[in-house]
Amino acid sequence: MTDKEKIMQYLDIKGLSKNSFYKKTGFSVGFLDSGSSLLVEKLKVVIDNYHDINPMCFLDDEQPLIIDEKMLVDEDSMELESNSIPNTYLSDIQASAGFGDIINDDNALEELPKTYLPNAPNGLNVAFQVKGDSMHPTIRHYDYIAGNRVEDYKYIREGEVHVVVNVSNEVFCKRVYMDNDSIVLHSDNTVYKPYVMEKSDVVAIFRAFYRFSTDFSNANSMMYQNLELLKKELIQSQRPS
């Protein structure tokens, strides 16, 4: 089954129309009816807009089309250890989309669910849910990354994983490097290019100290290899004919 046939099967299962797909992704009408494979950038758009579609299915026909609900962290089911005090806020994908507006609002923060993480550092700790494959294989789609807020850039540990919130309410989970008045965000997945962000656009930075996941799949799967092949395909397609 081709990539586009898998998307159409997904839409059929979900009871969604092609027109709704085109409107949500911004793809031109008829996109699903021509060609077969998806380039990395197109695949990323699909994954970003349909959170329960399994990225692995585009690389391995044996993988399920839709992510098992068990792969999603149920915040209500996270039980605290006896006599433990909650020390970390939980911000799922929906909450993270507006996190920049509540980061300095104590009342709004208190509306987020909280859990206890052993050995969590002092200060403001938030666990952000990650979507996409830009940090694969280190961090998987729908993993939670708990971070401790960094109050001063001098405490940034270059090359380590941080969660960055910008003025546009975008949340990035990347390896951070300093560059004068900017920071450079690097993905572990080499398909994605480094991203430069001005310090003036940063609302908050959290240094990662904990990852929790329900994904036990093999990190050295064929997905990573095939994404490299897709990257080469993308580069070739951009070369002048």
Predicted pLDDT of residue 178: 95
Given this model, what pLDDT does residue 71 score? Answer: 44
Q: What is the DSSP string of 121-176?
A: PSS-EEEEEP-SSTTTTTS-TT-EEEEEE-SSGGG--TTSEEEEEETTS-EEEEEE
Between CA 150 and CA 157, with CA 153 as vertex, the angle to 5 degrees is 75
Q: How do the residues of the chain divide into helix, strand and coil, expressed in percent and rounded to 5?
A: 35, 20, 45
> In the predicted model, what is the mean pLDDT of the chain?
82
pLDDT computed for residue 156 by the predictor: 94
Number of H-type helices and E-type strands within the chain: 7, 9
- Per-residue model confidence (pLDDT) at position 226: 57
pLDDT one-digit tens code per residue, 107-142: 888 888 999 898 899 999 999 988 888 898 888 888
pLDDT-derived band at 80 (thresholds 50, 70, 90) equals very low
pTM value is 0.59
In whole angstroms, what is the distance from residue 189 CA to residue 207 CA? 19
pLDDT on residue 63: 77
Residue-level pLDDT at 40: 73
Question: What element of type H or E holds 6?
Answer: helix 3-14
Cα(211)–Cα(163) distance, rounded to whole angstroms? 12
- The region of weakest confidence among 81-90, 115-124, 133-142, 170-179 is 81-90
Cβ neighbours around 14 below 10 Å, total: 14
CA gap 147, 210 in Å, rounded? 7
**Cα 25 from Cα 46, distance rounded (Å):** 7
Please give the pLDDT value at position 73.
Answer: 45
Task: Provide the pLDDT confidence category of residue 208 given band limits of 50, 70 and 90.
Answer: very high
Cβ atoms 47, 39 nearer than 8 A: no
How does pLDDT run across 7-54, given as a tens digit for each residue?
A: 999 898 888 999 999 998 999 988 888 877 777 778 878 887 887 887
Answer yes or no: are the C-beta atoms of 189 and 133 closer than 8 Å: yes
Q: Is the pLDDT of residue 240 over 80?
A: no
Residue 121's pLDDT is: 92
Name the helix (H) or strand (E) containing 20: helix 18-25
